[in-house]
Amino acid sequence: MKTALRTHTCGQLRKSDAGSRTRLCGWVAKVRDHGGVLFVDLRDRYGRTQVVFRPENAPLAARAAALRGESCVAVEGAVSARPADAVNRELPTGEIEVLADSLEIMNVARVPPFEVGDRNEAALEVRLRHRHLDLRRPSLQRNLLLRSRFLLAVRNALASRAFVEIETPILTKATPEGARDFLVPSRVTPGTFYALPQSPQLFKQVLMVAGFDRYFQVARCFRDEDLRADRQPEFTQIDLEMAFVDPEGIRETIEHALAAGFREAFGIEVSAPFPRLRHAEVVERYGVDKPDLRYGLPLVDVGEEAAASEFRTFRDVLEAGGRVAGIRVPGAGSWTRRQIDEWTARATELGAKGLAPLKVEGSDLAGAIAKFFEPPLRARMRERLEAEPGDLLFFVAGPAAIVHRTLGALRTEIADRLGLADEKTFRFAWVVDFPLFEWSEEDRRWQSSHHPFTAPVDEALPELESAPAALVSQSFDLVLNGVELGSGGMRIHKAPLQERIFAFLGIGAAEARDRFGFLLEALSDGAPPHGGFAVGVDRIVQIALGLDGIRDGIAFPKTASGACLFTGAPSAVPSGQLAELHIQPAPSRNRS
């Protein structure tokens, strides 16, 4: 790469360049004095090159000796092959060095608050406060470069299938998508607010009505939610929508795009098609709707054996309509009482009334509850769980939701404890046939499982009022290694059906017209059948690169409190600016 200021990058030169001249620009990574011969490692985002300053040119060597780490410099000199015993096999440029005869100090750096490199142990807060220096670390630069390469590959894959990239508004109207909106006050219309989009959902549906039958966007989205390791208040998703398509067409398109992205960015071959797993069966087998398929440990129903036993606790649960299920913990038969008690306490935290353990000893089961099961029942339970001698079995009884939540969490945590999940294995799966609605105990009402624009399998909705829990939607999630990457499905494309769903959810006709009138009008103007999907980029980068969280795949992440330590956001603004927005500042809290 040749520009006005440099002829090569710091990762470009090779042994074949020996004898030529070069001009490099970059940052001083390290300065070493070996008996008067000065070695300076010069770094840019492409790599690192060793530059040599010889004592014969004393003024130049003196200037180089005074270089401070992270200063920005340019050097010129001859490219020389290193002696065989001085080759650095860990660097692509390790067979050459540059014999400098010119040094330009473009900018002297202050003493950095931490050593810039992948081995630095500075606190996260310090690194985020000085993110511009943290981003010079090779690992972070690699993460962002691979993220960019992934997005480019996905863009190209979609463009090859006639998708059109269209930007949708950032300042928009609040929509019910299950999270709080970030609101932006309008200066010119006092008392009104824009909302930052949680997704481009309604706009992309309208684009289908407008005739753009294949839309996509690398969209910035915003949700005012509590942060976790895999969640930020603003995030990036690959968003697409298609007209005249069925669910399989959408899923196959996502598989095509992701396979290209994983192959070209991360060097990972993705095997498609991904398995299609029904939601009800997934929850029953794994306890969660985003299962990690890199290992087994399924939830196994033992209701038949429990009903035939003398164990009153299990039988009472079954008579009340509950479930009794267990999981196998391979090789854990040697766990101590204390270890088992720790897992029992964890089960209690998750809502279960207890945890019933049985150890596999030889061909039989042993434990406090074993005496309540006749030998044939114990044999059948062991066979159902495919248990081997030395295994430990955990059983939970209670309402199905509690059994699923408890054993689903224990399954994941036990697999993590035992190291059963291979970080280099990538197991995708589609979870399909989600319920159309779910009951909210907190709000005491029915809510959409995905969002209110999701199409039902049966548009007649025969059981809408009588048995809404039985209704199935045309929605689906994409799961990778136990992480939900995104959601999508077919949309409601007829206004009367959309209005009926709104009414069931408690959104009356007047409110529906006020909030979604533009969508209902569009659906009334010849809207085609359509559907789409959105997949989260931050989580993909985290999983593909094996990162502990999503922060190291984002240029300027926020903390768990939503703060940007680099810029100091969020921050107070002058009272005059608030007055222009017709906002009255909240009174200061008394901290005494």
On whether residue 2 sits in a domain, the answer given is: no
Residue 536: beta bridge partners?
237
pLDDT digits (tens, 9 = 90+) for 300-359: 999 999 999 999 999 999 999 999 999 999 999 999 999 999 999 999 999 999 999 999
Half-sphere exposure of 48 (CA within 13 A, CB side): 17
Domain co-membership, 435 together with 323: no
Q: Which domain, by its residues, includes 63?
A: 15-107
| Amino acid identity, position 140 | L
On whether residue 59 sits in a domain, the answer given is: yes
Domain co-membership, 413 together with 451: no
Q: Is the pLDDT of residue 118 over 90?
A: no
CATH of the domain at 365: 3.30.1360.30
User: Please, which residues have CB within 8 angstroms of residue 162's CB and are 6 or more apart in sequence?
Assistant: 214
Domain co-membership, 269 together with 304: no
Q: Is the pLDDT of residue 592 over 90?
A: no
On whether residue 456 sits in a domain, the answer given is: yes
Query: Length of the chain in residues, anyone?
Result: 592
Count other Cβ atoms within 10 Å, centred on residue 483.
15
State the average pLDDT for the chain: 94
- pLDDT confidence bin for 385, thresholds 50/70/90: very high
Q: Count up the domains in the chain and report the number.
A: 3
CATH of the domain at 445: 3.30.930.10
Token output for 129? 């406060």
Mean pLDDT of all residues in 572-586: 88
User: Please, which residues have CB within 8 angstroms of residue 11's CB and are 6 or more apart in sequence?
Assistant: 44, 46, 47, 48, 49, 92, 93
For the chain, give the longest Cα–Cα distance: 93
User: Please, which residues have CB within 8 angstroms of residue 85's CB and are 6 or more apart in sequence?
Assistant: none
| Amino acid identity, position 589 | R
On whether residue 91 sits in a domain, the answer given is: yes
Domain stop point among 85, 107, 129: 107
How far is Cα 199 from Cα 219, in angstroms, rounded to an integer?
Answer: 8
pLDDT digits (tens, 9 = 90+) for 388-408: 999 999 999 999 999 999 999
Domain co-membership, 470 together with 538: yes
Mean pLDDT of all residues in 39-60: 96
On whether residue 113 sits in a domain, the answer given is: no
Token output for 112? 């950095």
On whether residue 416 sits in a domain, the answer given is: yes
- Chain-centre distance for alpha carbon 306: 40
Token output for 288? 């969660």
- pLDDT confidence bin for 588, thresholds 50/70/90: low
Domain co-membership, 301 together with 244: no
Domain stop point among 107, 134, 157: 107
Token output for 281? 């069966």
Domain co-membership, 160 together with 259: yes
CATH of the domain at 63: 2.40.50.140
How far is Cα 280 from Cα 287, in angstroms, rounded to an integer?
Answer: 10
pLDDT of residue 590: 52
Domain co-membership, 447 together with 411: no
Domain co-membership, 487 together with 382: no
Is the C-alpha dihedral spanning 457, 458, 461, 464 positive or negative?
negative
Give the helix/strand (H/E) hosting 330.
none
Domain stop point among 82, 107, 132: 107
Q: 463, 469 in Cβ contact below 8 A?
A: no
- pLDDT confidence bin for 585, thresholds 50/70/90: confident
Domain co-membership, 91 together with 210: no
Count other Cβ atoms within 10 Å, centred on residue 527.
21
Mean pLDDT of all residues in 184-206: 94
Q: 201, 531 in Cβ contact below 8 A?
A: no
How far is Cα 583 from Cα 578, in angstroms, rounded to an integer?
Answer: 5
Identify the residue with better confidence: 299 or 36: 299
| Amino acid identity, position 264 | E
The 3 state secondary structure assigned to 379-394 is: HHHHHHCCCCCCCEEE
How far is Cα 477 from Cα 487, in angstroms, rounded to an integer?
Answer: 4
Domain co-membership, 151 together with 170: yes
pLDDT of residue 231: 82
Q: Is the pLDDT of residue 1 over 70?
A: no
pTM: 0.92
- pLDDT confidence bin for 566, thresholds 50/70/90: very high
pLDDT digits (tens, 9 = 90+) for 416-460: 999 999 999 999 999 999 999 999 888 899 999 999 999 999 999
pLDDT of residue 36: 87
Domain co-membership, 214 together with 240: yes
On whether residue 324 sits in a domain, the answer given is: yes
On whether residue 570 sits in a domain, the answer given is: no
Domain co-membership, 381 together with 443: no
